[in-house]
Each structure stands twice: as C-alpha cells, then as structure tokens.
Structure 1
Amino acid sequence: MRTGRSRGMRTAAVVLLAIAGLLVPGGPAAGAGTQEEDDEGGPAAPAEYSYLQKAIPGQPLPRHAYDTAAAEAAALPATGGSWQPVGPTNIGGRVVSLALDPHRADTLYAAAASGGVWRSADAGRTFAPAWPERGTQAMGALAAAPDGTLYAGTGEPNPGGGSVTYEGTGVYRSTDQGRSWRAVGLRDSGAVGAFAVDPRRPRRVLAAATGSLYNPGGDRGVYLSENAGGSWRRVLDVPNAFTGAVDVQRDPVHPDRVYAVLWDHRREPDKRTYGGTGSGVYRSDDGGAHWRRLGGGLPTADSGRIGLGIATSEPGRLYAMVGATDGTFGSFLTSADGGDTWTKLPDITALKESQSSYSWWFGKVWVDPADARHVHVAGVDLLTTKDGGTTWTEQDTVHADQHAMLWDPRTPGRVYLGNDGGVYRSDARGDGGWTKATYEPWTQLYTVAATPQDTDRISGGAQDNGSLRSWGGDRFNEYLGGDGLQNLIDPTDVNRVYACYQYGNCFRSTDGGATLTEYTDSTTADRRNWLTPVQFDPVDPSVLYYGGNRLNRSTDGGATWQPISPDLTGGPGHDAYPYGTITTVAAARDGHTVWAGTDDGRVWVTRDLGAHWTRVLSGQPWVTRIAVDPDDPATAYVSLSGYRSGSSQPHLLRTRDAGASWRDLSGNLPQAPVNDVVLSGRNTLYAATDQGVFVSSRDGWRRLGGGLPLVPVSDITYDQVHHRLVAATFGRGFYSLRTD
C-alpha cells in the first residue's frame, strides 16, 4: 500500500501498512511517497471507514441485521433485465481460506472474504463459482474431509481490511464439489475461523466458532459434530462474552491431539478491543472431549491474537506468533513437547514490521510438512524461516496481507497461498516461484466510473488493489496504488481521468492515467475521509469539487483549488481516524447551488457558490450520497448508511424546497445501508445498498435485475446515453445492466 506524500524508506512503508488493507505492488505514480501515519497525524487501522459508515453513532451493529435485510431484499419482486459481470477477472481480492479436493488432483477451493467460495480444477490458475449467488458471500473457513465432503464456515473472522467484517449464517456442507450446499448449524456463530476434520472418521468435525465482533454471546468456542454437521455440541467453552475460537487444528501425527486458539475481540462504535484475558492456546489429548490451557511460556494473563503452527516431520514441535493487545508484535515462540513448555525466539525486526500495528489481522503460522524448521508466518509480507525462527526473510513478490496457506501432498513442493491479492501457487515449497491466478473475479470495489463516450472504459477503486482501469493494458490493470477509492472519467474527454487512494490523496491525468499528477497539496482541509469525495460539475467538467472537512472547488481541471466553505462538520472524532469529514458532494446545473453531506450526519446547501451555507439536516447517520434533480436545484435526494434491523430511522430522503422539509422515501427498501442513489429522468430512482440495487416504482421499491450476487453494492453510475447502470460491488467486481 502507498499512502501520503512524504518520501520514505521501505521500512517506513511497511510500518505504514497499519493504515489499511494494503497493497504494495504497482504503487502510486512518480511523486507519491509513503508515510507511517495518515495526514491527520495518527494511524488508522483497517475497517475504520466501513465500520463507522455502517454503524449508527453510539449503537453497536445489531445481531443478524445483515441477514434480516437480506431476507427482506429477497422477498421483494424483481424487475428489469439481467446483470452482467464485466470484470475484473485478473485482479483478485482477499482470500481467507483454502482447501484441496482429496479425490481430484489439482482441484482447489478458495474462500473469498466477501465473495463466496470458488473452485479451481487447474492447480489454482483459474476459478469457477462454487457457492450460491443468493447466499451470504461473507466467508471465514473451508475444509475438505477425506470422503470429499466440503465444509464452509461463513462470516469473516479477521476484523479489518476495509470491510465491515460481515457476519455469516453458520456452517454449510457440500457433497458434490460445491455445486449445492446445505446449512448444518451454528447459525449464531457470527464467523467461523477454522475446521479440523478427523482423518480416520470423516464425519467427525471440529469447528472454531469465532462469534460476533459486535454482540456478546451466541455460538462461541469449539464445537464437535459426530455426524457431518447434523448436530453440534460445544466441547470448549469460552471464558468471556466476547471470547471466540479463531482456530482449531489437529496434530497431523497424533490426530486425537487437538489445539484451539481462543481470542478476545470486540468492536464498539468508539473502541476496538482485540485482546484480553480470554486469549490463549488450549490442547485436548482425547479428540476434543477435555481441554486445558497451555502455559509454560505462553501468555496466560492477557494477549492479542495468537497464530499456531504444528510440525509434521518433528512430532511435538509447535510455533506460536503472539500479538500484543494493541495489535503490535508480541513474541514468537516454539515448543518441542507439544506445548507444555515454550522457548522465546529472537525478536527479529522483520517480524515486528510485518505484523505492523494490526497483528489481529493475520494470526497464522504454517510449517512445511517435510521440514519442521521451515516455517512461514502471515503478515503484510510473507515471512519465511529455514532455521526454526532464528533468521527470517521477507517475500514481497506476492501481494500484501497473507491469510491462508496450504501444501499439496500430491505434488512435492507445491504450496498455495491466499492473500489480499487472491490465490498464488509455488512449486518451490513456498520459497519464491510464486504464480498468481489468472481468473479470480472476486475484487472488492469501493467506486465505479464509466463514460458514454466509450462503453468499454470502466474505472474504479479497489480495496487493497489500487485504482483499476479497463484500458491501457490488461483488462483490468492498476494505474494508481494503495487502496483505490474515488475514480472519475471526464464525460467529454476519456483521457482526462482522476484517481485517489486513501484519505484524499488524489491525482489527475490527461493521458488516461499513463502519467499522473498529484493535486492533494493544492486543496485545503484539516481532515480527509478514507473515501474523500471528488465530483465534476454537471455542466462543465473542468470544474470539480473536493471535500475534506471544507469544500474545495477547482475551475481548471484540478490544477488549483480554492476553499468555498467553512468546516461543515461537527469537528474531529475522539481517536486517530479522521472523522468529521465531507463524504459526498453534488452540484446543481444552475452553476451556483451545491449540496454537501458529512460522516457525522449533516447536510448543507449553498445557493450562491459558497458565500453562504445553510445546514438543512443534522443528527442523521453517515450521509453516503446526495443526488440533485437536473431540472430543479432545490430538489435533492439523500442516502444514508447505518444498520437498522427494523428501526424506523429512514435511509433515503427527498426535499423539493432546498431542505426546508423532507420526505422519507425508504418505503419497503431492506433495512440496510444505502450506499448510493442515482436519479434517471425525473421519476426513476436507483438505490445501491448492502443488499443489491433497487429501483423505484409506483407500488414501491423493486429489486433490480437478476444475476447479481447477494453482495454489497458500494457505488453505481448511470449512463444516460446508453441507458445502462454500472455497479461496483464489494466482493464480486463490476456489474452492468441495461435499463431499457
């Protein structure tokens, strides 16, 4: 990942990766550098943006809010044509778990964090869907039993990476290579971190129920099923209401010996707790019936997330990566006696840097089955030791942020890796030689830009995969690094494009992105949102608006900027995250009316191009978008985020009198965040939500089109010339639909 404008050494860049989900390959254009902290002076960890956007201030995310809204969305009548995927297929996105088919060579399953399950029959080169489109796309764990049965645990167990860590709907089982799935319990597990299948009795399965990140209780701890998920009983309880089991592993030599990792983790609107007294490693010597907490050098009082690796070639050899409660590196230890006693290994700088300031994002250690001293550790970079932890090397030829690794017993030396860039394969024991999958269509997108001048040109910002474009190379290719956010294409000149990475670090180009010039320093702001809004004037695209906590305006295509507002927010938040920012800007066609919305629930309008501002709404959830009627600058539509779970709080509003009065248009929309609203003509509204896209009609809202997976839609744009919508989804790439 790249962030900021100062120049720095690579070590600073690695430490900087505390800011988000994090991409290193590609990088920004020349002139962009790296820095350890964001421009507001403090680090901001993964997930801050999306969590704050979707949470109502002062309230936790309600239990099952996402599932409830999904059911409401599914019940709405559908209308319109069929959504068509338009890429990217070559970029990938976060992969959290991998499994091998025991009966079919070169057959691999991958779980995308918010993109479902995928199957490869060519050793990880290309993938095809292996999960229902209308099922939850949030995934946590995969496992394949010796008889070929697949288990999938839904809900992402890693809190961070730009997503809101969507919770799942329990455990699912497939007996036909992922063609169909059956729900088999633990629905209230929030997320599932791992499975451990008994190699001697394939219907005997242990599951690590991680629990809700936001709500106490539910299904937490280690559960055992003796009948392939037909029923479950908890065999390892948790000591605290927010403790969950994030990992469970069987000893490959002594399968009755099982290890589990418990972890205290909780997310509140103004606090993040990723460690505590309940965090620790447990062992069972009788297949899971009885457990004891391991000490002997492991922390027993208070720690962050712990990653555990078990050696095959040296029975009893274990490794543990211990995170500190603040997310930094704690210690790396090894045991030679199955975990009874532990020895602390050297605190290597590479270990500390790769864990950055969010060790809770990784928590994985993988031991080469053929060599107990050959160990890989998850981090920003993939770290490798060949001497049992005395020395380490960084592998930065793969995408940043490692989450899953799997050895193929059929092919000596073959290793699969899952990270924020997708799936990689090495035939050199994971010591380099990595090749990336060529077809993996599960990219997490924040924004989309399209142009009526060329329907093949699509651009957008991707979580940890930069700003992507469909031209100038492969379809798609990255032309600005970091976490890709706001992207624009000039509607009168396809070569004039704009792109940003996190916290409003923005660039302009006159040659389609081949060369980029940063303009952030020309703007005025004390705080800039993770997704800082940049918008064209609807009449003259040489006029642009940029929102920090003040609104900036440019009349020369973004070369120079002037502030045209005071601080439109209620001030900064209580922590390092730059809260109190403008989140959406919409200019009217009359040349002097401009609307702005903020993350602290305020809506403003100026009728004289910034000389005077009127606050017309306050006390709302996060304002995601404002759309202005092209024929009437006093008519505007405001979309709001924040989970509701049956609350009567609106999430789509309209005014016809410049904000003097408002009407709630939410109607029968699902009780879910609305991320974007687009007006087509005078009477048709399109709403992009966490549950898909909906269109207004005389008898209420209808679900728009078929073929769109049940995945959050972050952004939509409407091409009036060709009557098409293009959508950015957070987990399944871009989709397009013709509306006529």
Structure 2
Amino acid sequence: MAANGWQRRRIWAVLATTAALGLTVTQAQAASGGSSKPFGVRELREQALLHQQKGLSAFAETGKDGGDNEGEEIAEQADQYAEARTSPGIVAPGAYGAAYDALSTLPHTTGSWSELTKLPYDSDDPRYRDVNSNSSGGAGKVTGRVTGLAADNHGYVYAGSANGGVFRSSTGGGHWTNISDRLPALSTGDLQLDGRGRLWYATGEANTSATSFLGTGVYVLDNPRYGSFSKRDRVGGDELESTSINALRFGGDKVWAATTRGVWSHSTRTLTGAWKLEFAPNPDYLPGGSKASDPSAAYKNITSDVAIDPKDPSKVVLAAGWRGGDTYNGFYAEGKNGWERLNGLGELPTKSDDVGNVTFARSADGSRYYAIDQSPAQTASNPDSGLDGIFVSKSGSPTGPWTKIADYKQLRDSGSALTGSGYQPGIQSWYDQFLTVDPKNPDHVYAGLEEVFETKDGGKNWTVPGPYWNFGFPCWSIDPTKQTGDCNQTVHADQHSVATGSNGGQPYVVVGDDGGAFRRPLNGSADASGHATDWTSLNDGTMDALQYYSVGVGIDQASRGLSVSGGLQDNGQSILRPGDRVMGSNFGGDGGDTIVDPANGCNIAAEYVYLAVSVTQNCAVNDGSWTTDPSKATTYSVAPPDNATNEARFIAPLNADIKDANTWVAGGRHVWINTKGWAIRSGSEWSGAYDLGAGHTATAVASSGGKVYAAWCGPCNNQGFTRGIAVGNADGTGWHQLNLPADGTVPNRYLSGLAIDPADSNHVLLAVNGFSRKWTEGPGAGVGHLFETRDGGATWKDVSGNLPDVPANSVVLLKNGTVALGTDLGVLVRPAGSSTWKVAGENLPTTAVLQLRTGPDGRLYAATHGRGIWAIDVRSLC
C-alpha cells in the first residue's frame, strides 16, 4: 500500500539522512532497533547524535520533517486555510471590502492593544538548542513570510508581508515602518516600483493559490518614500477583490495583473475606471458565470505571470495554469482569433502537463528573458522535484526561442543542501519561485526556489549563495557558543520575492522568504562551496510580520513575570520571557496549537503539525548537547495516535479543560484525552474518548469540568462539505452527535471556535468561519458567525446581531460576561448585557486573528496571522 503524505515525509527524511551519513537503509533501521516504522525529526537527530558520538561525520539533515515545512505540508496548509473561508463554495468579489466597510462603522471600546512581539526573533538562539529545535541552522533573526519586494537606488526598500501589509525602510532594509495599515487587506501578492517611482501594491497573497479571499485589489502610492496607502489609492473598482494577484507587469501605458481569476489590465495614466479582463481560460467558472458554483471553479482561471516584449509592448505572453495541472495550462499570446495557445517556443515546454507555476524576468537592456517553469506532471510523478527547469530567451523576446539552462539535478549539484532522495531543488516550485536579473549584467541572475541560486554566466554555471540551512555541511557544528558552527549565515528557506537596489552607489539584492527579508551585495562574496559569506538579516523586530496560529501565557517562575509562547507558520514556536530583548525559538518547523500552564510558563505543549505534540517542563532550555538520555531530555514527543495515521487537520485543535489545566483535549478523527498534563511522556498515554467517524476531523475542541465539545468537518473541502458537533465526557461516556438541522440554523460552514461558560457547561458559544450566503456560492452557506446554546447543543440561536459578515476564527467568553471574537479583520467584542458589537480597543491592525486566549494577568491575548501577538486589558472591553 502506498505511504500516506505524513509517512512519505518521514520515509524521505530517513533516506536523506542515511545517505548523508553514508549508511544503508538497513543499517539505519538496525540503528533504530530494527523498526521499519518511519520516524521523524527527533529520531533522526537522535541517530545523528549517536553517530557523532562514534566519531562519524557531522549530521547532515537535509530533510524537513520537523524543520521548515515541505511541499506537501505547505499545500495542505494552504488548502485547509482556504477551506475554512470558502467552504461550501467560492467567495464572490466584494466580500472582504463589504466586511471592512461594516466594521468601520462600529464604535471602539476604550483601551489600546500592546504589541508583544515587536522585537527580534532569533531562530538560532543558543538557549534553545533542543533536539526538536532548528537552532544553529543558520537563518538567524527571522519574521513572517515576505511575498513582495521593491527597492530603489536611494536606499529605500519596500517589503510586503503575507498578511501584515507593506513595510518601508530608508536604510536598505531594517528600521521598518508599516505604510498600509489603513487598508482593508494586508495580504501581499506583489510589489512593484514603476518608471515614475510610484509603488504599486497588489493585495491577495499569490503563494496560497486557491486562498483568494484576502485581496481587495491594487493600490498605488505616488510618493512611497514619505506617504502611506489609503483606500482612495485603489486602482479601478472592485474587479480584483477576493482574488490573489501573482504578478504586476508594466508595458507601454498599461499595467498587467496575473491573478487567480485570469489576466487583467489597466491604464497607468488614468487610475480610475474598471480593470479590463484580458483573458480568462475558462470564463464560465468566474463569479457570476454559469459554472461558478462548480467545486473546481477556484482552480479554472489561475494565471501566474505576464511577459512583455521590451521592443514591442503590444506583444504579450501569458502564463496560465493550476499547479496541479489542467487542460488549459500553457502559454498564450494574442492572435487573429483572440488569445491563442503558443507552441514551438524551443525548449520551454508548452504541453499542458508541463506548464504549471511560471515566473518571468527580463534584463534591463532587453537582451534576455528568463523563466522558471514548474511541471504538474513532474510534480505528480517525481518524488525528488517538480521543477521542469530554468530557461533563457537570448533574443530578449518572450516568444523565444527558449533554451533550458538548469534542471533540478544541476542545481542540486551546485552546492545545494537538498541532496537527499525525495527532496531536491524545485520540489516546492509551485510555491517557491523568484527571478531577477542584475540591471548591469544580463547574464547575472538570481533564482529562488527553496534556496537562493545564482549564475554569472547566463546559466552555464550555478552556485547556491543561500542554501536551505547549514545542517549537513562540513562547517556546521552544534557548538552553542557559535551561531552555526563555522558556517556563515544563510537565509531562511522557501523563496518568494526579490528586488535589486542600491544605497550610496553600493548595489545589493534583497530576497524575501518564509523567514522575512535578507540582503547581500549584488556581487557578493562566497566560500569555496559557493555559499555566501555576506548575508544580512533585515529582520530586526521592527517588521513584526510573524504569522501565529496560537498563543499561550503563563507565569515565569524565576521572575514572577509572564512568559508568552506561540506557534508560527514555518517558524516553529516562539518564546518570550521576562527581560528578553530577543525572542527565542524552542521548537522548529511549523508551530501549531499551544497549551501553556498559566501557573508555570515553562510548562508548554507545542504542536508541530497533524497533532505532532511535544511537551517541555523547562521551556526547552538546553545546553546544546542534543541529549537523548530520558533523564536529561528537555522535550518529549507525545503525539496522539491520529498523528501517525494522518487523521488530523494540518493545524489540529489542542486545548486544556478550563477547570483542570492537567486535562487536555486533542482532536483528529478521534477525540483524545490526556489527564497527566505536562507530566505526559508518550503518545500512548492519550485515551480515545470518541470516534468522530471516517473522513471526519476535528476543527475545534473545548472542555469544562470533563464535558467536551468537538466540532468537525468532513469532507472539509468544497466537494460535498459537511460539518457537525459531538458532545461527551472526558472519560469516554455519554458521547453523541448533535442534530444540526439542515434549515440553516447553524450554517453549513467551517466551525472554527468553541467557548464554554465556566458556570454552566451547557452554555456554549460557537464561532463560524467563511462568509454568509450573500457572498458564498455553495449549498447551505447560511447566515451568521456566532451561535449560542444553553441546553448542551440541543438547540442553537444566531446571536450574530450587527456583527460584520467576516470569517470568525476564535471565541472567548470573558469573566465579566463580555464575548470576544477573533476574526479575519481583527477583534470584535459584545459587552455583557449588550446586543451590539464594538471593535476591541485601538491600534490593532486589521489582520486575521486566529486565536484568542486570556492570560493569568487579566489580559486578552490575540495571535494574529501576520502581525504578531497583541494583548489588551479585559477591563477596557466592558
């Protein structure tokens, strides 16, 4: 039987590590006790430690299991994040704009939010060199994903973050200031400076493909060095709302936008008037079309880039296609009969199976065009890479002829850290891509995949100035007195954006990835392996673009202050302790849900993904010895069984009983109970309380005094979406499925949050994600975002009131009776005794708040997915 996704990740990691250590698979299994069961990062690092102790070569972990997330995990993350907001259908343009307008009419409560994470976050912090962390990998100080970059020749750099907006630096990077907080959307698709020095901001992050729900169009800032964006800066109308924009390209007096709903254009001289739809491969699937309600509609009009002939801007080539493959995938140019598929481009493939995600870049002198192409066929069939190749058109024309100048094997052999079977350069090329050409040298190119690649001779030879990480290189060691042994700093993994600029006549390149922004001289220095010696992290804490899924707060026993932890997209778990000037990272990879002991902030349960839970009782502080001795270990893997069977959501729910901090509930296909709290040491110590059913998986769990509620979905995508709620006791008794009638009392949408009244476990609040039926084309979408039961779920009432129609993610019932709701546009509250909603406090950015939790200090904590962790005094919310 074929391995499932989770097993494939682990199998690949085993093979990669055994190859790096010069062992056979049989030897590796023997070293682990002869087991054939795939194992993850903790076991891999334990094996590495054993081999190091025997005097073998330094550990070469080229895998991602437990490190930075890999292609399958990113795809699953993107799809599941989208599912919560789009199921049971697709979202029509205008949804977020309308929600923002409605929110703008609401009054605010008193009080202001405090930003807790606006300080550097060191992924290589030597305090936390536990076996489950990535510390010493070499990325250094990081922040959230940077998906758009622009730079000028006067030291100004503009960075667009995944869901935190646009930041400006006047010092070549660092000392950032946000310039987009007055916009309704803070998700970045692209950033471009035009010939007049104007900054164009395309909203709607392109990297999540089908998650086209955060964009509200394109904005232009006339004087980006001093101004900031506002709603009046939008180009055109609402045509590009609720879409993702992959790229903006300029030619003549036009700007072209490659979006998930076709290619559009607009005049660059007159910014009013509607955008023109130039080409949609399957227009019937667009909103309002005859097939708009089809489950596959979101995937039928995806375009990734536009190439414009520098000699004739009327000649344009469009790259269209879903990364997974479709019959419409290919390159298009305008002909006698409109837009026609191109053939005969030389070595650049044109078959639909071979054209996926594409990035173009042209040289300043017009003599070269370059392209990266991801192949859907190879992505599906080749376990090593989905990259078809990197290509050049030496005529400078986007119609070629094109020549292949690199494939994944050539890039692998050029100094890559990704050399193991199952994970080689381009394995995530549907997600990781950038290209740029040195303005003064058309043969000098930077290409971004998982790593940063460089050629100075037009592709004859390649180097890797920015390897994935330093694990596995001879220069690396775990020495806690050094950042990463004798290696130089590298960049974070997973490249998305790039820009070239200069300051004081000194040119540089800036790259954006899952860890923020990094800079080096355009013609920088490198060691003998081609790895750069001169990267500078630009993540000094002033660009707090951290993408949190969760937050947990507890008292620090040493200082009696507070310790704040949280799980992050591709940046592990952060920890901020009293007196810290730099946050540390004590768990690697993706950080999911979190439980922190309110009485002891060093008691932490941290989820990786799919319920891969680990616990620590000392904040995972470690001296760098990577010990595997159970009596000296600082973390313990305690994943419930649904992790091994891949029957949990990518970010699965994990919660503690509100009356007993040592009783935990975890949700996958099953509802799992742990009654040992932080003393748990094995995944076998969870007990199965209830089976939600085949194909069902938990989306939210809550417990009070042993009474447990578990919301679920299954299928969770648009194809037959269903949802439900199960109720029972932690001891496994009394379980039953609630009857959620089909009359829309509780909408057929994603159930994302549960809050139980501590005074009455039959009184529960339910948060519902997605948009109401006005915006969602799908069966049973219903109306409302907050529902209440006072009889244990037998009946429900819509208590949304004047709540804006915006996806709701988390709900908290505060001690004073106030209800707090975390939404995609911030935090809303309904004071006790009131039926109307207010915006919670002042100065919280309008970004997605994925989790709300109260702390032992009486404050409400908000984990935002793009602007860090914030807190506010609950008393101000009354």
With normalisation by structure 1, the TM-score equals 0.84
Distance in 1 separating the partners of 2:43 and 2:754: 29
Taking a change above 3 Å as real, the CA distance of residues 607 and 536 of structure 1, as seen in their structure-2 partners, is closer
Distance in 1 separating the partners of 2:364 and 2:193: 19
**Residue of 610, 623, 632 corresponding to 2:732:** 610
- Tell me the SS of whatever aligns to 1:478: strand
Distance in 1 separating the partners of 2:144 and 2:730: 44
Tell me the C-alpha RMSD between the 2 structures. Answer: 3.5
Deviates more, 1:292-301 or 1:684-693: 292-301
The answer to whether structure 1 residue 500 and structure 2 residue 607 are counterparts is: yes
Partner letter of residue 115 of structure 1?
A: G
Deviation at 1:186, TM superposition (A): 5.4
Deviation at 1:232, TM superposition (A): 6.8
Contact 1:12 1:34 in 2 (8 A): no
Deviation by residue 1:307-364 (Cα, 9 ceiling, x = unmatched): 2232346x53322211113552223322222243122345332658555444332343
State the match for 1:227 in structure 2.
269
The answer to whether structure 1 residue 690 and structure 2 residue 812 are counterparts is: no
Deviates more, 1:121-130 or 1:645-654: 645-654
Aligned counterparts, 1:126-165, within 5 A:
126-160=175-209
Deviation at 1:112, TM superposition (A): 1.3
**Residue of 849, 861, 868 corresponding to 1:713:** 849
- Tell me the SS of whatever aligns to 1:425: strand
Deviation at 1:65, TM superposition (A): 2.0
Distance in 2 separating the partners of 1:83 and 1:279: 48
Partner letter of residue 581 of structure 1?
A: T
Distance in 2 separating the partners of 1:730 and 1:231: 33
Deviation at 1:305, TM superposition (A): 1.9
**Percent identical across equivalent pairs?**
26
Taking a change above 3 Å as real, the CA distance of residues 505 and 682 of structure 1, as seen in their structure-2 partners, is same
The answer to whether structure 1 residue 593 and structure 2 residue 707 are counterparts is: yes
Deviates more, 1:235-244 or 1:626-635: 235-244
The answer to which structure has the higher helix fraction is 2
Distance in 2 separating the partners of 1:164 and 1:449: 30
Deviation at 1:76, TM superposition (A): 2.0
Partner letter of residue 86 of structure 2?
A: A
Deviation by residue 1:86-125 (Cα, 9 ceiling, x = unmatched): 21443321212222245xx211111112111110011102
State the match for 2:359 in structure 1.
307
Contact 1:489 1:498 in 2 (8 A): yes
The answer to whether structure 1 residue 336 and structure 2 residue 394 are counterparts is: yes
The answer to whether structure 1 residue 668 and structure 2 residue 788 are counterparts is: no
**Residue of 531, 536, 543 corresponding to 1:435:** 536
Deviation at 1:50, TM superposition (A): 0.4
Taking a change above 3 Å as real, the CA distance of residues 434 and 13 of structure 1, as seen in their structure-2 partners, is farther
Distance in 2 separating the partners of 1:280 and 1:666: 47
Distance in 1 separating the partners of 2:209 and 2:350: 25
Deviation at 1:643, TM superposition (A): 2.4
Distance in 1 separating the partners of 2:388 and 2:546: 32
Deviation by residue 1:188-222 (Cα, 9 ceiling, x = unmatched): 12343334457xxxxx65323233x4xx5xxx425
- Tell me the SS of whatever aligns to 2:600: coil
Distance in 1 separating the partners of 2:635 and 2:724: 32
Distance in 1 separating the partners of 2:461 and 2:213: 34
State the match for 1:510 in structure 2.
617
Deviates more, 1:236-245 or 1:119-128: 236-245
The answer to whether structure 1 residue 365 and structure 2 residue 435 are counterparts is: yes
Partner letter of residue 496 of structure 1?
A: N
The answer to whether structure 1 residue 8 and structure 2 residue 21 are counterparts is: no
State the match for 1:643 in structure 2.
771
Contact 2:150 2:500 in 1 (8 A): no
Partner letter of residue 609 of structure 1?
A: D
The answer to whether structure 1 residue 85 and structure 2 residue 209 are counterparts is: no
- Tell me the SS of whatever aligns to 1:360: coil
Partner letter of residue 594 of structure 2?
A: N
Aligned counterparts, 1:93-132, within 5 A:
93-101=144-152, 105-132=154-181
Contact 1:486 1:500 in 2 (8 A): yes
- Tell me the SS of whatever aligns to 1:602: strand
Deviates more, 1:70-79 or 1:499-508: 70-79
- Tell me the SS of whatever aligns to 1:668: coil
Contact 2:357 2:373 in 1 (8 A): yes
Contact 1:585 1:595 in 2 (8 A): yes
Distance in 2 separating the partners of 1:226 and 1:615: 57
Structure 2 residues without counterparts, runs of 5 or longer: 1-5, 21-40, 48-60, 121-141, 284-299, 380-385, 413-422, 468-489, 527-531, 623-633, 715-722, 743-747, 775-780
Taking a change above 3 Å as real, the CA distance of residues 608 and 708 of structure 1, as seen in their structure-2 partners, is closer
Distance in 1 separating the partners of 2:438 and 2:750: 47
Partner letter of residue 216 of structure 2?
A: G
Deviation by residue 1:150-203 (Cα, 9 ceiling, x = unmatched): 222222223359x666222333333353334422215312343334457xxxxx
- Tell me the SS of whatever aligns to 1:78: coil
- Tell me the SS of whatever aligns to 2:186: coil
State the match for 1:731 in structure 2.
866
Distance in 2 separating the partners of 1:205 and 1:355: 38
Distance in 2 separating the partners of 1:109 and 1:292: 36
Partner letter of residue 590 of structure 2?
A: D
Deviation at 1:456, TM superposition (A): 3.9
Deviation at 1:622, TM superposition (A): 2.3
**Residue of 22, 34, 54 corresponding to 2:85:** 54
Taking a change above 3 Å as real, the CA distance of residues 512 and 617 of structure 1, as seen in their structure-2 partners, is farther
- Tell me the SS of whatever aligns to 1:53: helix
Deviation by residue 1:445-503 (Cα, 9 ceiling, x = unmatched): 11111235655421111111111111396532221111111122111222211111111
Deviation at 1:728, TM superposition (A): 0.9
Deviates more, 1:431-440 or 1:340-349: 340-349
Contact 1:243 1:278 in 2 (8 A): no
State the match for 1:22 in structure 2.
none
Distance in 2 separating the partners of 1:485 and 1:447: 7
